[in-house]
Structure 1
Amino acid sequence: MRRTLALALTALTGNPHRNVHYDAGKAHHTPSGFRNRYPHGRPSADDLRRWRAERKANHLPPPPTQDLSAVAPDLDFIRQRQTDPAVTWIGHNTLLLQVAGLNILTDPVFSERCSPVQFAGPKRHQPPGVALADLPHIDLVLISHNHYDHLDYASVSRLYRQAGGPPVFAVALGMDVWMKRKFGQLPADKLITLDWWESAQSGDATLTFVPVQHWSARTPLDRNATLWGGWVLEVKGFRFFFSGDLGYSKDVTDIAERFDGFDFAAIGIGAYEPRWFMQNQHVNPAESVQIHRELRSRQSMGIHWGTFELTDEALDQPPQDLAQACADQGLAAGEFFVLRHGQTRVLAPASAASHSQSI
């Protein structure tokens, strides 16, 4: 029975013990996948059992006390090609960035649950702030890693079949195998696959995949078989950082050293309690503000909160902790903000000072 299950899961995920992109000259590559650049402890099976037991005994997470319902999206605005930068929060890590005439979507998850099945698993607290059918034509999709709350097959499939042709999908090493298995041989100009610190061009936009501390898996058998990371997008002088999921590590310092500041950053602020279990996987709001400051981001937005109950803090706790962290670290009002689901904010344009990149 165990062998049958293993074979079935292997058939779904490809061979989890063979890294088709393996490069022995790169320290973060392994024959079966990838590893973080800066070693850190990871929770054990006993830790997971302890967390689940404590969570159940303490009736966590508590229900939110604030209204987190979505606001009606400004569809007339988002359906226009925006030259000046604007961002709309759809939920969790899914946002629509509009800049320089491009419509860019991050980690698209529009399904009811972030799960391999739709009858179980974490369920949305409210619907997406913008329905998939109401989106403008998407030009570019940035996917940070393959966890189910970041990579949703139904959502990617709908985007692949959008009117006017599929967007360009930018993914990490190993995720290209998943994409090709699901959608066949994508046109070369519709799939960008990058390793850490690699860059590629998509029209006027330059994309760079950057290392962050996290991990990947879609089954019990493919842990770290595909790469994970954050994205840097540069277009018409505007520089954007998308964190994906991350625990705080020296990777942040390394990114800051290679890029001379950011015009806008989307940084996770949720899914951080209990710290003894989550600290190496997800930053808390105080660390998010520290990342904002280290990256010299002119404006940042908190993501990865308020949509799915994943950890022990209430769904509405991250913005409260973020406000306190901003005050403690001396940020100006509005420098690091959150949006309601469906809300749009027009961003400050690209800095007048030219950016430099030293990769």
Structure 2
Amino acid sequence: MSAIVSSPATPSQQPAEIAAKAHHNKHGKGFINPWPSYQEQSGPQIMGKILKMRVTGQWKDPDTTPPTVPIVKPHFLPTRQTEKLRATWLGHACYYVEFPGGLRVLFDPVFTERCSPFTKHMGLDDTHVTEMDWWEEKQITLSPSSQPGSTDQIQQDISATIGCLPCQHTSARTAFDKAHTLWASWSITSGDRKIWFGGDTGYRTVPSLPAEEFDYGEKYSDLPHCPAFAQIGELRGPFDLGLIPIGAYDPRSIMSPMHANPYDSVNIFVDTKCKKALGIHWGTWVLTSEEVMEPPKVLKKALKWKGVEKDRFETCDIGESREID
């Protein structure tokens, strides 16, 4: 199999203000979140808040005693022939998606015992990497291998358009490279199917509140939310499937700038104009303090709160596949 990467003949729409590159750090290296929905917190600030919560007894460690998330053996299609979009959850934010027409996409693979800066090795070299900025697109064409004896299943060219889109997060591998690389969400279109991968993102920054207080109540209705998702829906949607984060959100005063809770997730789902969605970024590693199985339970409440049918945004067992018409 060979791959050719090029610019699309007909580029998709972009926001008018993107030319200003507001997300590029004009006063240093790297990037920023250019919206009031994001409030910067340094590593020492976050650690200080966590330490204070532990000392005062406010921090809770989730119970990881089995059973937690059910795990089933994944089954992938034996050939590239399928009439439906098919998505298999492999844990955390990793999904393997099989498109009609033969395209196969593996999102965010992390196959290690723990998720940390010291064990996540992608094994890629620069010759197989294409860098993109927000709202940029690339066309990729996969062609059958001409090598003798090849077992390549591709019988004809497969084309896809990959779009790099905004999200609200940050990046770092060490204490000295924060925000040096750009975080993003992604769209992939192949044939007549289109999906949006939200990856790891926040939606709004929530202040410290009493534990029983609902941060989507009228009292907090003026908290700004990230406008990028509505732009994605308006300019690149609708999407047949959204892969949207629902976990690693507690405590909200620390995690909300970068991690969506299910109420945020449902708003993101509506903003991006996804027809259906599956939850990601939960149930695999203990990253925060909510209970392991809490996100899907809260998701059901959030869907009812938003007036969205519960079968439009669901979760899977690890290894389970869902087919999307």
TM-score, reference length from structure 1: 0.68
Residues 275, 103 of structure 1: CA spacing in aligned structure 2 closer, same or farther, 3 A cutoff?
same
Are residues 1:261 and 2:238 paired? yes
Aligned to 1:291: 268
CA drift of 1:322 comes to 0.4
Give the conservation status (yes or no) of the 8 Å contact 1:263–1:298: yes
Matched, 1:193 2:131: yes
* 1:232 paired residue among 187, 190, 213: 187
TM-superposed deviation, 1:26: 2.5
Cα distance in 1 between the residues matched to 2:261 and 2:47: 19
Equivalent residue pairs, number: 261
What is the alpha-carbon distance in structure 2 between the residues aligned to residue 304 and residue 294 of structure 1? 19
Match of 2:227 in 1: 250
CA positional deviation for 1:36: 1.2
Cα deviation digits, residues 284-325 of structure 1 (max 9, x gap): 101101111122211100000000100110111100100111
Q: Post-superposition shift, 1:27?
A: 2.4
Q: Which runs of 5+ in 2 are unaligned?
A: 1-18, 142-158, 204-225
Structure 2 counterpart of 1:43, which letter? Q
1:107-146 alignment runs, 5 A limit? 107-117=108-118
**Which position in structure 2 is the counterpart of 1:93?**
93
Deviations 1:45-102 (A, max 9, x none): 234312234146346222157531311222xx43432432100000001110110311
Amino acid at match of 1:80: T
Classify 1:295/1:222 alpha carbon distance in 2 versus 1 (closer, same or farther; 3 Å). same
Aligned partner of 2:16 in structure 1 is none
Given that 1:55 and 1:312 are in contact with CA atoms closer than 8 Å, whether structure 2 keeps it comes out as: no
The runs of 4+ residues in structure 1 deviating greater than 6 Å are none
Query: What corresponds to 1:41 in structure 2?
Result: 39
- Using the TM superposition, give the Cα deviation of residue 257 of structure 1 relative to its aligned residue in structure 2, in angstroms: 1.9
Matched, 1:276 2:253: yes
Question: Bigger relative contact order, structure 1 or 2, given CA contacts below 8 A and separation 6+?
Answer: 2
Question: Following the alignment from structure 1 to structure 2, what is the Cα–Cα distance between the partners of residues 64 and 289?
Answer: 26
CA separation in 1, counterparts of 2:62 and 2:163? 39
Contact 2:103-2:190 within 8 A present in 1 as well: no
Would the aligned equivalents of 1:247 and 1:281 in 2 still touch at CA under 8 Å? yes
Aligned equivalents of 2:186 and 2:165: distance in 1? 6
1-structure distance, mates of 2:233, 2:45: 36
8 Å CA contact 1:82–1:98 kept in 2: the answer is: no
Tell me if structure 2 keeps the 8 A contact 1:88–1:96: yes
Q: Which runs of 5+ in 1 are unaligned?
A: 1-23, 119-151, 158-178, 349-359
Alpha carbons of 1:316 and 1:55: their partners in 2 closer, same or farther (altered >3 Å)? farther
Distance between the aligned counterparts of 2:243 and 2:51, measured in 1? 29
Residue number among 298, 302, 305 corresponding to 2:279 in the alignment: 302
Secondary structure of the residue aligned to 2:259 is coil
Matched AA of 2:191: K
Match of 2:51 in 1: 52
Pair 1:28 & 2:23 matched: yes
Secondary structure of 2:50 counterpart: helix
The alpha-carbon deviation at position 192 of structure 1 amounts to 2.0
How many percent of aligned residue pairs carry the same amino acid?
36
2:129, 2:62 → 1: CA distance? 41
Amino acid at match of 1:28: H
Q: Please tell me whether the aligned partners of residues 231 and 272 of structure 2 are also in contact (alpha carbons under 8 angstroms).
A: no
Counterpart position of 1:69: 70
SS at 2:267's partner residue? helix
Pick aligned residue for 1:314 from 263, 276, 291 = 291
**8 Å contact kept, 2:162–2:187:** yes
Hey, what does 1:105 align to over in structure 2? 106
Question: How far does the alpha carbon of each residue in 1:204-227 deviate from its partner, in whole angstroms, 9 at most, with x for none?
Answer: 110110111110000000000000
Quote the Cα distance in structure 1 between the aligned partners of 2:92 and 2:281. 4
Aligned to 1:218: 173
Q: Distance in 1 between matches of 2:200 and 2:77?
A: 26
* Structure with greater proportional helix content: 1
Q: Partner residue of 1:7?
A: none
Code of the residue aligned with 1:97 in structure 2: it is: V
* Match of residue 347 from structure 1: 324
Residue equivalent to 1:19: none
Deviations 1:129-150, CA, capped at 9 Å, x for gaps: xxxxxxxxxxxxxxxxxxxxxx
Q: CA separation of 1:336/1:36 partners in 2, compared to 1, >3 Å: closer, same or farther? A: same
